[in-house]
Chain A
Amino acid sequence: MSRPETAGARAPGVRLIFAYDADGIRLLARLPGPDAVPPGDDVDAEPPVTAIAAELRTAEDVPTFRRVVDAAIPASVEVFDPDTGPFLDPRPPSSGAFDVVVPDDERARQVVLLAGAEGVPEGLRFAPPPAARAADRVIARFDLRGGAHGAG
């Protein structure tokens, strides 16, 4: 179990919002987050099968913080029918969004998204090959110093 020294810091947080569709994934917004960020997840562990891990990395590509988001890109959608009850549409949504809260770490230059073995449903163009090793399951990288995005 490995957590970088800064990973547990009770630092002011930044909320990163990602949006995806069949073609790709993009960093939609960077917003001020809560005043304290809970400790991060283990940067050396394999991301859980159905999760996406968002990692802050330095200019040298060294991870400083990881947050795991389970089912960030779900493989199915739960739908509610008042006549029959809830049921599962076993197709992935054609688009969606998820967010992660990370520390506002000066050393972080980019955020990297890594997929668990089934973290991106088949059919989405950016899904890694089914047998890809963990290191090859980076699905996106975003520069964190290229100007702020956000919503008013």
Chain B
Amino acid sequence: MGQADGTVVGVTKVLDHGPDAARWNLVLTGDGFRAAEQGAFEAAVAAFVNHLHATPPFDEDAVWKRVNVHRVDVHSSQSGADNPLTCADGTSPTGGAMAVDTFYDAAFCNDGLRRNLQVNDGLVLQTAAAKVPSMHVVVVVVNHVQGGGSGGKVGCYSLHPQGVDIAIHELGHTAFGLADEYEYVKDCGTAQPGQETYTGPEPAEPNVTTVFDKATLKWRHLLSPGHTPPTTANADCTKCPPQTSPVPAATVGAFAGARYFHCGLYRPMFTCKMRDVAAPFCAVCKDAIRTRLASLVPPPVPAPAPAPQVPAPSCFVAGAVYRDPSHADVEQLRRWRDARLAPGARGRLAMRALAAAYARLGPPLARAVERSPRVCGLLRRLLFHPAAESLRRRGRPPGR
């Protein structure tokens, strides 16, 4: 079982945005695919890449063009993954029990949990890094339709329809340092002594916090205009907090319950991919992904504007209109504003005066605007989106 049960066939750069030395390199490899199933593996990788690209913030040029994706083809002796008839959690295997010889030894039912799908992490790292020396992260897709997967330094997922979302959630941990945002260990229906109230130090992850003070909150730059955290509290820390939100879905605040604890930790938005794998990333996680990628690889073309020297106010009105301060249009307008504030920029003095006035008037204006969805829609359609589009077109290099 293992390395003798397959062959490393080769590597293909399926998404090529430039030299590996100057990009973030994601590797996908597969287990339990025979040579005759190479087409299925390629389709699975293509589906992953398409889904990742459609997942904000990866849909933004400034993010996506920092990414290369490599497919490391491995053919296993047999198809599928080990899936024993009995598992300690009392469940049965989907599609019947299976014991197969595969290259990375993919197996369900690790540590007695049917859904715990794991591979030989060491062999995966060795194989992927030997083919892609600049690799940043590797994910394994396993040729089996039963739902399952696991995280860690090597994430793996199956061909179950939810599999790609699982893999992207796992990238949130391994590649971008994000915390889980759910407030339980097993589920909200199971009592979990020790998970009532978090009392540890401030977590290092950017998307969970013990501190919700508006002035020091980690994600204060993304807080919804006029909002004062905490957004929700939990009256009974022996249970999960209420599973409905009292505020609009796009509100960035501080919601009680995160990183396996019912109380003592807060998350930025009610839902997020780090809480529910089918949901999009929240505004704070998107911001963290952009920041991490920007720190790892140089800017793609076109280069983003240099950072301003004076503190720039948030895009209050645009943020309120879009109900998402990290929306691509808001980001575009923010970049334009920051470029005009940069040292030596044309019209910088006028822009500084405008920014100072906006810092005072923006928040009340944003509060007034966000009360009316109709006004928001009109402003978005007639003003902000056309302006952002125009800036995008102007920022593109000739010939594109």
A residues with CB within 8 A of B = 13, 15, 17, 19, 28-29, 31-36, 38, 48-49, 70, 72, 74, 77-91, 93-99, 150-152
Contacts and interface: CB of A to CB of B under 8 A. Distances in A.
A83 B133 CA distance: 37
Nearest to B154: A97
7 contacts: A29-B122, A48-B204, A77-B116, A80-B148, A97-B125, A98-B153, A151-B123
A139 B201 CA distance: 25
A contacts with B: majority SS:
strand
A87 B153 contact: no
Interface stretch (B9-17, B40-48, B182-190, B353-361): B182-190
A85 B277 contact: yes
A80 B115 contact: yes
A152 B149 contact: no
Given A79-B149, A80-B277, A81-B147, A29 B121 contact: no
B166 A80 contact: yes
B122 A82 contact: no
Contacts of B162: 80, 82
Given A79-B149, A94-B111, A97-B122, A88 B180 contact: yes
Contacts of A85: 182, 187, 276-277
A79 B113 contact: yes
Given A89-B116, A99-B129, 14 more contacts: A17-B125, A29-B122, A48-B204, A70-B204, A77-B111, A78-B151, A81-B148, A85-B187, A86-B166, A87-B186, A89-B111, A89-B113, A98-B153, A151-B123
B134 A35 contact: yes
Chain B interface size band reads 35 or more
Given A17-B125, A99-B129, A82 B147 contact: yes
A79 B184 contact: no
Nearest to B278: A85
B125 A99 contact: yes
A79 B148 contact: yes
A84 B276 CA distance: 10
Contacts of A77: 110-111, 116, 150-152
A80 B153 contact: no
A23 to B, nearest CB: 15
B157 interface: yes
A149 B180 CA distance: 35
A70 B184 CA distance: 22
B20 interface: yes
Nearest to B162: A82
Contacts of A17: 122, 125-126, 129
A82 B94 CA distance: 13
